[in-house]
Structure 1
Amino acid sequence: MSTPEPSASRRSGQFPSTAPGRPARGVRATWWYTFSSMAFFALFMAFITASMLLYFHREADGRTWWPVVTAAVLTWVAGLAQVYGTWLVRTGMGAGWPRPWATALLVVPAALVWVLTLWMPGGGLPGGIPLWLAANVLAILVHGVTRRLVFAAGVVLFLGHWWAGAQLTGVVVPAGEAARQVPALVFFVVFVPVVFLFSAWWWNIVVQLDAARRDAAQLAVARERLRFASDLHDIQGHHLQVIALKAELAERLLAAGRPEAAQGNIHEVRTLARTALEETRSLVRDLREVSLEEEMANAQDVLAASGARVRLRGIHVQDPAARTLLGLAVREGATNILRHASSATEVSIVLDAAGGGQRLVMTNDGVEDPGGTGDGTGAPGAAGPASGTGLSGLDRRFQASGGAVTGRRDGGTYVLEARLPALPGGSTVEQGPTPAQEREQSA
């Protein structure tokens, strides 16, 4: 299993804030849904605004068409600019002002429409729409007080255009007609921020949840490393401190001409060093021991926490060597699913008897290659040696015992299979699945 190298931006030993890996397939789909909904709304409002300008101009028997056509074209330009602005949301809300040329692209066409429609009959309402939409897109990208100021400026300019347009064109809106237009204006002022801000907020939530999901696998490794570091510190720290004191004391006794007393301290130093070495070896030996049952339970818990539904079924394996190898296979398979098939929603871990030995089959529907090579085994349905540094090393360990680890794509799933023959002196007792061995979990 390959370990990501520490980047130059953090000290060796620090863990990255987010586990490596691509966003899950569902996260990418959510982004395209969010972006397409905001982009469609911007283009739809551009169509409505241009249609309203042309309709009101015709109803007013207007003969000068170039200002209306110019305003309609600029409305479409503003709509396309707003589509680009919504694309910038992929970096998250509050990312800051876009580049000057992007800000100008969002604001200038909409501002020209705002100015041109001031003297157009019936242009008071539609003429302020593009600038109000541009203000909402900018409000997503900025944050804090700046966002509130952008919203306030957008509301003032939108409502001010409606009022100023009526004054400049000389078309006085009757009180009854104004009363009917005010609810529509208020609804539009409220509805547009709901569409843009809620979509961007929901996308932020999805990104944060995906980061938390990827961190779950990293935290499991971090907890184990911290536990090992704590145990190693407890063992080595105490013994090394005593060794240093005894060695210093022996040095002073030798300088004082008392070699007999110094010899006793040197003997204690040697004894302490041997004890520290034995305890360190014991710690490493315990770390290398793998419990098949614990690995299967841990794999089920971690994969379920990542959003997959896990089916677990197994048999009892008595041979310690086989249990260790199969436990390592479960650990490596689960780790690679988290890293390279994070979009998996269905995972099956089945351990059964085969040809007098054991066969472990791990299946997932996240067909992004769990081996980490990006192409699985080459052809769908073709079995081949397991790919990836960790799985290749595992395959060598299985081959040393007469087994093998293979991976293949089977339709929309990836299958990792580990086989072991009957090892000398070992036996396998098959038993029916218990509730703890076969159950489905949903995150």
Structure 2
Amino acid sequence: MILFLSLALFTYIFGLKIERGEKRSLFFSVLLLVGILSIFKYTNFFLHLVSQSFHTLGWNFTFSTIDIRLPLGISFIVFELISYLVDIKLKKTHPENNLRVFTLFLAFFPHLIAGPICRTNQLIPQFHQKIAFSFHQFIGGLVLIMSGLFLKVCFADGLAPFVDSVFNSQVGFTGKPTLWATIGFGVQIFCDFWGYSTIAVGAARLFGIDIPINFNLPYVSTSLREFWRRWHITLSTWIRDYLYIPLGGSRQGQLQTAGNLMITMGLCGLWHGASLNFVVWGLAHGVFLVIERFCSHLFQFIQKTLLGRIISLLWPPVGWLITISFVFITWIFFRATTLEQAIAILGTLFTPANLFSAETPPRSFFILLLTFGLIHIPLSKLMDAMHTEKIRASWRFVIAWWLFVLSIVMSSGESLQFIYFEF
């Protein structure tokens, strides 16, 4: 609490300084915010890397790790504070003069722990308005909460036991179970974070507050670029606006653009966790985005030819298969506990003989995957309808009730922490 209030007060003061045009205020404030985040999140990671470097050089010297507790939600809070300060500098917003309102912007509980990452111009103006109670909107928020609960307890928690049994195996990895566990984790992490974000949006709507949605059917994407426009939307747009574009974006030639993409995605991976696994995950996405960008420019030269027309017709299913295969395979680096484990799992997946083992997941696992595939698009459309007036309040109440019943009936009985609470 002391750290949170200190960050809020510090940013509030420096927002006013930046508005007055005081030199280096933005540089100093952002540097301090990034430094605080780095101390809590990356100190032990840095000490581990230094120790490994010494061992590689043959020096028998090891830094002891420090017992540092990561404050809940600090990554998301720091990102919101940085965007607030930068937007003031760019004249996109004005500093908030009311410290109470500014603190409420940070502490508004639905998005406090794991996002969505809110910009000041999305949230603060709503706190200055007198919000009248709307039963229609309240029940819509309830439907969203029940939808998020349904995704979490039925699919994310339901798939977790088999996924954990494979990834936590102490006897090595075998083909079929590893393949299905990889697919299962891709669905698990999506339902887990989509569920949390939907609960957050729904909880805010109970109070008449709108916060941005975080997911828009990312697993229907036919390119990785489209995937990042649909997945964790508030993070991907934050990284685009406050990292990729300031680095130069795509304005400085193909080589510089490729470098900007690699830096951006590498830092995106590091933000997710202090581990080489996350760095490799981010860099892999960066490489894929660079290749995808090169291929799109190449296609521009042939799109009017017969070959180009054939590619245009075939691309949606082929592009979807390539994109989703890449996304699910790279989720291995997210789930594996070490880089060595991730490489071992990849070795199993890319050894064709291993995929013909007789071992299979339990039937309930397949039922959950099939059910998810059938309902996740209609469920997304239902969530979108809660932001409109299309469905009457009485029907919203009925839908919320049945989602609650289904959550109880289909629950695995084991309650697990949201995955993104770790980040």
TM class, shorter-length: under 0.3
Larger Rg: 1
Higher RCO (CA 8 Å, separation ≥ 6 residues): 2
TM-score calculated relative to the size of structure 1: 0.24
Hey, which of these two has a bigger chunk of strand by percent? 1
